[in-house]
Amino acid sequence: MRADRLVSILMLLQRHGKLSARQLASTLEVSVRTIYRDMDALSAAGIPVYAERGAGGGCCLLEDYRTDLTGMTAGEAQALLLLSAPGPLDSLGIGQDLRAALRKLYAALPDNPVKAYQPQSRVLLDWSAWKEQQPAKGLVELLYRAVNGGHQIRITYHILTGAEIERVVNPLGLVAKEGAWYLVFEANGKVGYRRAEELANAEWLDATFPYPQSFDLVAYWQEVCARAGTRQERFQTMLLVDQAALPVIRYVLRSPDLYMSDQQDGGGLVHLELSFESFEAARRVLLSLGGAVEVLEPEALRLSLADYARQILARYAEG
């Protein structure tokens, strides 16, 4: 929008004093001719801007002219600049908007030592998880639009048995947790959630729904996290582990604390008690550890891993 661009030009000139039309055009991703038209519009609106021709010229703002569109202190502005554009926000398709907003904020900083702070910060906030599976391209953007617009969606996912489930749901919110997006939804009067990468498909529906006024997304997610942190409500396993593999297991689980019983077997093997979010999560992680881990309990998980191993052996034996 042009009004948005005019504000950006004003803030950039207030920050730098003078910039060439080419620099402004590059920063705002428009043509040099557009910049000159915008300068004329600002001047006509009574803003004391002017253009100087020649090698040392450029677009200028009178030195004594100041406007404060932020109303923030230097400390508040600097804290916001640390946000950059986190990976989860980029996946929503709003990363570019965030970067544009932060650029305006940086240009509008008051005349104080924070001006020495550069947008290329020396502090990096990496919100993504290590080697995390990503949702299908465009899926999170669709969920975001549905949540904001109050539109129903039809989601498809697979349960533990392999069966495909298709449900029409009311999307209530999106939560970013450890680099992954979770969709919180209402279906048949009950609220649930599912990781975005677990969705095989999501379809936009024209039907809308009234958002439940009594629902509090923050309170609901705090309850989810509290339940997940209670060992009795998680999927418990007892493993026999090669002691040399413990550093690898700590890395895979991203957990420095592992509970080991006093029982030890010969050959450097130890008993290890681990809890997972679900049966499926336990199977996925333990399969990745190969022969370094043997499941002792529960029996269902032990049998499932053995079945997967037989399938893998059969597949490779065919070749």
DSSP string for residues in 147-171: HHHTEEEEEEEE-TTS-EEEEEEEE
Token reading at 172: 């209530």
Query: What is the spatial distance between Cα 39 and Cα 10, in angstroms, rounded to a whole number?
Result: 9
202 exposed, middle or buried (CB, 10 Å; 0-12, 13-18, 19+)?
buried
Please list, residue by residue across 76-107, b when 16 or more beta carbons sit within 10 angstroms of its beta carbon and e when fewer do. Answer: ebbeebebbbbbbbbbbeebeebebbbbbbbb
Task: State residue 208's pLDDT score.
Answer: 95
Q: Whose structure tokens read 């052996």?
A: 313
Q: What is the pLDDT along the chain (319 residues), one digit of tens a residue?
A: 566 788 788 878 887 778 888 888 888 888 888 888 888 888 887 788 887 776 667 888 876 676 655 545 566 666 666 655 455 566 666 666 766 776 666 666 555 444 444 545 566 666 666 656 677 778 888 999 999 899 999 999 876 556 788 999 999 999 988 778 899 999 988 899 998 888 989 999 999 999 999 999 999 999 888 876 654 546 888 888 887 777 777 766 655 445 444 445 556 788 888 888 788 888 888 888 888 889 988 898 999 999 998 998 888 886 5
Helices (H) and strands (E) in the chain, counts: 11, 12
* pLDDT attached to residue 258: 53
Structural domains of the chain sorted by starting position, each given as residue range(s) with its CATH number in brackets: 2-115 (1.10.10), 139-228 (2.30.30.520), 231-317 (3.30.70)
pLDDT of residue 46: 79
pTM for the model: 0.48
- At residue 155, the pLDDT reads 95
Query: Hunting for tokens 């200028």 — which residue is that?
Result: 60
Name residues whose C-beta falls within 8 Å of residue 261's C-beta, 6 or more positions apart in sequence. 270, 271, 272, 273
Cα gap 47→280, rounded to integer Å: 62
Angle between helices 299-317 and 279-288 (to 10 degrees): 50
Distance of CA 317 to the CA centre of its chain: 41
DSSP for residue 108? T
Q: Choose among 26, 17, 4, 15: nearest CA to 50.
A: 17
Whether omega for the bond prior to residue 110 falls within 30 degrees of 0, making it cis, is no
Q: How far apart are the C-alpha atoms of 144 and 275, rounded to whole Å?
A: 31
- Alpha carbons 130 and 179: distance in angstroms, whole number: 9
Supply φ then ψ for residue 201, to 5 degrees: -165, 155
b (16+ CB within 10 A) / e for 45-62: eebebeeeeeeeebbbbe
How many C-beta atoms surround the C-beta of residue 185 within 10 A? 23
